[in-house]
A and B are shown apart, each in its own frame.
Chain A
Amino acid sequence: MIAATRASGEVVPARAQMAATLGFHIILACLGIALPTIVLIAEFIGLRRRDQVAMVLARRWSQAMGVLVAVGAVTGTVLSFEMGLLWPGLMRRYGAVLGLPFGVEGLFFFLEAIFTAIYLYGWRRLGGWAHWWTGVPIALSGIFGAMSVIAVNAWMNQPGGFTVSHGRIVSVDPWQVFFNHAAIYEMPHMILAAYMVSGFTVAGVYAAGILRGRRDRYHYTGFALGFVPAAILTPFQIFVGDTAARAIAQDQPVKFASMEYVARTSSHVPEWLAGIYANGHVYAGLKIPDVDSLLVGFSPGTKVIGWDTVPAADRPPVVWLIHLCFDAMVGIGFLLLLAGLWALWGWWRRRALPPQRLFWWLGAVSGLAAIVAMEAGWVVTEVGRQPWVVYRLQTTAQAATTNGGVITSLSIVIALYAVLGAATVLILRALARRWRRGGVAETGVPYGPQPDVPDARAASPGRART
């Protein structure tokens, strides 16, 4: 069989490279999807209530957004190329199907890029509400763009919407490809995740500042603008995630079995919290009888399909990783829910956020925790689908490139992305430091954008006339 010979040594490094680049980009993608909405909320409050603090926050966040969007645009392009460079087999076979949602994504990527440019660089010369409205298309196209990309991933989990004849695809129904069976739960799950990651990350930055004693209105406003929307969405996310897990138990039973350590199809399946599966045993895990069956079918007698239903070659490689990532995601989800409830309690009792340091610690790590949960969720869905790239139709080995040297590109990509990530974080921190010092710090700049304060422009004589 061709598949066996083609499964050379390149599958594992190709998967590692895809995981690394996608895992990096997805953080920026989340911020790209949801940060504009948070900035728009801040600007809305700034305009509506003439709140200068909210206005300053909106301006500063959009400067940070400029950096993040640029890095996100280039790392997203890398992924487009990798679709062909790492997975030519997938594209050759199914490019005509899964390309369509990507095309729709391209449309929204255009709108996003164009209006981001207008919004980011229009702060000084476009008037108040006109400027605010130029941001609305960014927020909307972020959501629709995310739906399109998730449609592709969901299609890989639940392929459909095309007919094959003599080994070639002869017709495609774009609507069924886009709104495939898994899209219904994957789309809201990821879009809510993007909003939670962005909101909690913004909140985390200001919670850290508050912990360091910067207890001013600026920091509390910054925290609230991120925390409140993210905390409100958390219970909805838990509901969507629960629904998705039940759907996966039906649609991709082997993935679900790996998530929950269901080795044999049976009823009265216990729920395992943590634990490592090896040689038919779960070590160091907490076993709760009947609960998994209860969660799947609302009754302890529900039969749950185990991974014994498929041959060993069709099971995912590392079930313990899938299970632990799933537990981490769910655990963090409930932790974030707790943080939101704590804040709600404080607001209900005293019209103020909780004063306890523990709450602010929780707030400070909430962004990082949300990112970890989102990444863990991706590990569950991607590793859990193995060995398939298109569920039950094409294996990852059949999709992978036959070119050698993926180890080389993997090493270069890891080094490059490490530098890129570090530079992004350092530059954002340097921006924050400059803001704290009061802003105007650009003198002796050889070129680059002008500082926006008229006095500073007059004070640097080397600058050419505009």
Chain B
Amino acid sequence: MIAAAAVGGILLAAVTLYGILGGADFGGGLWDLLAGGDRRGHAPRRLIDESITPVWEANHVWLVFALVIFWTAFPDAFAAVMTAAALPLWLAVGGIVLRGAGFAFRKEVSGLALQRAFGAVFAFSSLLTPFFMGTVIGAVAAGSIPADASHASMAAWTSPTSLLIGFLFVGACGYLAAVYLVGEARRRADRRMQGYFTRRALAAGAATGALSLTTLLELRGPAPALQHNLTGRALPLVILAGLTGLAVLALLAAGRPRGIRVLGALGVAAVVWGWGVAQYPALLPGTAVTLSNAGAPHSTLVALIVLFIAVVVLIGPSFALLFSLHGRQLLQGGEGLMASAAGPGSPPRRHQRSGTPGRVSRVLAIGLIAAGAVARARARGGRDR
């Protein structure tokens, strides 16, 4: 049981990291979509592009990792979700393909028309994936996934809860992206973009907060147990999410965006963990499937815990390196196309100490290591008993 709970925590950690890292990349697509015409949208699009470019693929891997943990540790639940929610998952996959390809192609084509076309593909598909993934999470949370699902169900993911959570995901992605971009603009001393994304972060933050509260109230009908736990044992996390959200909005309104990236990410993480704590130990609410009986033997769970420790040890520092290089603006596009044969490193370096994405990643890495250590200790305790 302890091992199953630990692996459940690992899965939730992977989902959280995908949410606060990959989610923000999707949110960037949302703001790209809403940035207006070529001229007006030039500056924000460029900031979005430069912020996402070197990191989105690495951030995206959290999704693959979460999927692998899901099917290895909880194969019964995985098969049920993949069968019952097949349609929104296919649509989310379509969004992933189009987003990644559109984004990568846009940089490499010359000519405005083609760039517009690929840019539009990138921006529009950035909406699809979070929305449909949200509906799938909504279907799980609302208890609409049967344990022995043999057919796709339309009703499972088109319930009000599912659709609300779909919109909540889009809102949260937009909120995170805007908050990160405010920090990025501030670091570049770009006052105009800082104000531009401050307004958007405020709007998205208000919308996301409202959607969260609505979802919480709406859960009374389809998932009373979840709602009860969210206002019960998960209440501290719910309050943390609310407070960080309000703090971010207050700091933004006051024009003092110091630390908002960490606070924004923490708020979204608190929502994810609030859900996890409230639903524990059920994996598919409304069925008998829990963390400990979803199909994997103990040895598989232990192997996954060992694997996760390896991931934390190897990937944590690597991400910290990536984000800190990115934060210090040492990673830039245009790697080819050299007309002069001058070696790399010729442009003057800018000295910037406060690499905020670097700081976020360091905080994350430390948090992950701590979580892994706790999980490991608990797993070991479970075995000794």
Which residues on A are within 8 Å of B, measured CB to CB? Answer: 52, 55-56, 59-60, 62-64, 66-67, 69-71, 73-78, 80-81, 83-85, 88-89, 91-97, 99-100, 102-107, 109-111, 113-118, 120-128, 131, 137, 162, 168-174, 401-405, 409, 412, 416, 420, 423-424, 427, 430-431, 434-435, 438-442, 444-454, 462, 464-466
Contacts and interface: CB of A to CB of B under 8 A. Distances in A.
B221 interface: no
A96 B57 contact: no
Nearest to B48: A447
B337 A63 contact: yes
B97 interface: yes
Nearest to B345: A127
B61 to A, nearest CB: 5
A31 to B, nearest CB: 14
B297 A88 contact: no
A122 B331 contact: yes
- 4 nearest A-B pairs in the assembled complex, by CB-CB distance: A449-B333, A99-B72, A95-B75, A63-B336
Contacts of B349: 125
A20 to B, nearest CB: 13
Given A85-B89, A127-B345, A56 B53 contact: no
13 contacts: A77-B97, A88-B80, A93-B75, A95-B296, A99-B300, A100-B304, A104-B307, A110-B315, A120-B335, A122-B325, A442-B337, A445-B115, A447-B42
A124 B344 contact: yes
Contacts of A173: 299
B16 to A, nearest CB: 16
Contacts of B50: 449
Given A56-B341, A99-B75, A113-B60, A446 B110 contact: no
Contacts of A99: 68, 71-73, 75, 300
A464 B307 CA distance: 45
A134 to B, nearest CB: 9
A88 B338 contact: no
A409 B90 contact: yes
Contacts of B105: 67, 423-424, 427
B344 A128 contact: yes
Contacts of B338: 56, 59, 439, 452-453
Given A116-B57, A121-B331, A449-B49, 15 more contacts: A71-B104, A73-B57, A74-B101, A92-B78, A103-B72, A106-B68, A118-B325, A124-B347, A126-B330, A126-B344, A169-B295, A423-B101, A439-B339, A446-B39, A453-B337
A125 B63 contact: no
Interface in B92-138: 93-94, 96-97, 99-101, 103-110, 112, 115-116, 119
Contacts of B108: 63, 66-67, 427, 430-431
B67 interface: yes
Interface size class of B (residues with CB under 8 A): 35 or more
Interface in B334-362: 334-341, 343-347, 349
A120 B54 contact: yes
Chain A binding surface, main DSSP class: helix
A300 to B, nearest CB: 47
A124 B83 contact: no
Nearest to A428: B108
A162 B71 CA distance: 17
Contacts of A171: 297-299
Contacts of A64: 336
Interface stretch (B226-234, B266-274, B316-324, B371-379): B316-324
Given A117-B54, A401-B83, A449 B71 contact: no
A173 to B, nearest CB: 7
B68 A62 contact: no
A85 B86 contact: yes
B318 A91 contact: no
B184 to A, nearest CB: 12
B344 A96 contact: no
Given A106-B61, A464-B42, A403 B100 contact: no
Contacts of B206: none
B23 to A, nearest CB: 15
Contact of A169 (B69, B96, B101, B297): B297
Contacts of B332: 121, 124-125, 449-450, 452
B237 to A, nearest CB: 27
B337 A439 contact: yes
A427 B106 CA distance: 10
Contact of A96 (B82, B297, B335): B297
B82 A74 contact: no
A125 B344 contact: yes
Nearest to B90: A409
A462 B41 CA distance: 12
A284 B217 CA distance: 73
Contacts of B73: 96, 99
Contacts of A412: 94
Given A91-B75, A117-B55, A442-B110, A124 B295 contact: no
Given A97-B300, A448-B107, A107 B337 contact: no
Given A59-B335, A107-B311, A453-B339, A92 B344 contact: no
A108 to B, nearest CB: 9
Interface in B1-42: 38-39, 41-42
Contacts of B319: 114
Interface string B164-193: 000000000000000000000000101000
Contact of A172 (B64, B300, B318): B300
Given A128-B344, A439-B339, A452 B115 contact: no
Interface in B271-316: 295-300, 303-304, 307, 310-311, 314-315
B253 interface: no
Contacts of B345: 124-128
Contacts of B42: 446-447, 462, 464
B211 interface: no
A80 B333 contact: no
A75 to B, nearest CB: 7
A168 B338 CA distance: 59
A109 B14 CA distance: 14
Contacts of B58: 110, 113-114, 117
Contacts of A450: 332-334
Contacts of B321: 114, 118
Given A171-B297, A403-B86, A444 B112 contact: yes
Contacts of A96: 72-73, 75, 295-297, 300
Contacts of B256: none
Contacts of B341: 52, 55-56
A460 to B, nearest CB: 12
Contacts of A88: 78-80, 82-83
B322 to A, nearest CB: 5
A128 B343 contact: yes
Contacts of A67: 104-105, 108
B314 A107 contact: yes
B116 to A, nearest CB: 8
Contacts of B235: none
Contact of A84 (B61, B71, B304, B335): B71
A78 B314 CA distance: 25
